[in-house]
Amino acid sequence: MAASDRLRQLKAFDDTKAGVKGLVDVGVDAVPLIFHHPPPDPHHQTAATTSACDDAIPVIDLQVQEDDGQHDLQVAQVRAAAETVGFFQVVNHGVPGDLLAETLASVRRFNEQPAEVRRPYYTRDPARRSPATNWRDTLFLEMAALTPEEEIPPACRAAVPEYARRVRELGARLLGLLSEALGLHAAYLPGYLDDGGGGPVVGCHYYPACPEPSLTLGTSRHSDPSLVTVLLQDGVGGLQVLIDDERWVDVSPVHGALVLVSNDRFKSVEHRVVAGAAARVSVACFFRATAASARAYGSIAAVDPPPRCWRITVAEFLGHYKDKGLDGTSALARFRLPVGAAAAADGSPSSSNA
């Protein structure tokens, strides 16, 4: 599609403020061209490159035991999962099951209301330079900035903020385990949660039923711009993770489990969501310092001498991430140092930050 045609169609789509669900509501029976993902990204793949192997995605039990060795076992399991896969699911994580269910139900209720109710909250992925638009609608809530109640849809006001609060507690615990897995003290990474923030950025995703799933994606191939992401998904399925840079593996929903995605010394793993015949709901909590933070981040001296990347601020990284779009390439590549590169005075790598 010509760039001018694409922009015109995107504008027409955005002007409706009804989202992808609006297309489904009016009975669309074909996926519009702006949602077509070029090969090889959607399902242009063989059985050899796609797997439903549940064993590839570790499940870690976070239940606290009296056994003194249980904590060390959890650290070891987190280290192994983060270094080899970059995705893992956690159970017995302390977030009540009824809150998980109501959070998903509230996001579904909001998205299945009439378009005129949803329009005041309409937005679309800022990464418009992506090759194609994703078949999903997303409500972003900046819980780190204490989103005013009136900016949260009424359908979500009871469950989502409480879920974000409970997941923040879980996020701090998980970052503590990741810190120890890196050989650092347990408070190292959790300290970044207070760097201009206080809560996660919450992405409430709704993937409407798709009439032609083989032509589009719910979410393009990407890695997340966060220290760690906690994902709650319903039982529909569709989430996939790229293993060994060569095969997509389904992340089958485990009842009551939450999915974790970790970053670079630990794999910044690429993942995507395929479109399907049934509507799907997920809620992603992204843990990172806010863009307002002036701190420059780089390599951790105790973990990765010599430095692997330049010192950058969160604003610089997020700016590049959004400009690049979800184009199937890693946003981290721009900031990695060449092997053997020496530290410079400015725009330089650091051996003192994470």
Interval 252-265: pLDDT, tens: 999 999 887 654 56
Distance CA 219, CA 231 (A): 14
In contact, 133 and 35? CB cutoff 8 Å: yes
pLDDT, position 114: 97
Domain residue limits, the chain = 7-290, 297-354
Fold of 7-290: Jelly Rolls (2.60.120)
| Residue 288 near residue 203 (C-beta atoms within 8 A) | no
**Pairwise CA distance, residues 305 & 311, whole Å:** 14
DSSP class of 336: B
Binned at pLDDT 50, 70 and 90, residue 347 comes out as very low
The reported pLDDT for the residue numbered 23 is: 97
Alpha helices in 208-346 (DSSP H): 314-324
Name the average pLDDT for the chain.
83
Q: pLDDT higher for 325 or 72?
A: 72
Query: What torsion do the CA atoms of 282, 286, 292, 298 make, to the nearest 10 degrees?
Result: -150
Whether the CB-CB separation of 309 and 353 falls below 8 Å is answered with no
Give the whole-angstrom CA distance, residue 290 versus residue 54. 34
Strand partners, 260: 88, 230
What is the pLDDT at residue 346? 41
CB count in 10 Å sphere of residue 85: 21
pLDDT for 93 equals 96
- Give whichever of 94-103, 170-179, 216-225, 333-342 has the largest mean pLDDT: 94-103
Query: Of 261, 271, 263, which Cα lies nearest the Cα of 336?
Result: 263
**pLDDT tens digits for range 32-55:** 999 998 876 655 444 344 555 557
Q: What is the DSSP letter of 225?
A: S
The confidence score (pLDDT) of residue 44 equals 47
- Determine the length of the chain: 354
Nearest-CA neighbor of 120 among 107, 110, 109? 110
Distance CA 175, CA 190 (A): 5
Residue 29 pLDDT: 96
261 vs 223, more confident: 223
Output the 3-class SS for 291-310.
Answer: CCCCCEECCECCCCCCCCEE
Closest CA to 78 of 226, 233, 243, 262: 262
pLDDT-derived band at 136 (thresholds 50, 70, 90) equals very high
CA distances from 7 to 85, 128, 180, 297 (A): 37, 10, 47, 36
* Confidence band of 66 (pLDDT split at 50, 70, 90): low
Q: What mean pLDDT do residues 270-292 have? A: 88
Quote the pLDDT of residue 54: 55
Asked whether 168 and 216 are in contact (CB, 8 A), the reply is no
At 315, is the pLDDT very low, low, confident or very high (cuts 50, 70, 90)?
A: confident
How high is the pLDDT of residue 53?
A: 54
The H or E element that residue 260 is part of is strand 258-262
CA distance 4 to 137: 24
Q: Which pLDDT score is estimated for 40?
A: 63
Q: What's this model's pTM, rounded to 2 decimal places?
A: 0.86
Per the CB < 8 A criterion, the answer to whether 338 and 321 are in contact is: no
Q: Is residue 127 predicted with pLDDT exceeding 60?
A: no
Angle between helices 69-84 and 159-181 (to 10 degrees): 90
- Stretch 325-332: mean pLDDT: 71
Q: 60 has which bridge partners?
A: 90
d(CA 221, CA 124) in angstroms, rounded, equals 17
Give 291-306 pLDDT, tens digit per residue: 666 777 777 756 666 6
Closest CA to 260 of 229, 236, 290: 229
CA-nearest of 275, 337, 278 to 312 is: 337
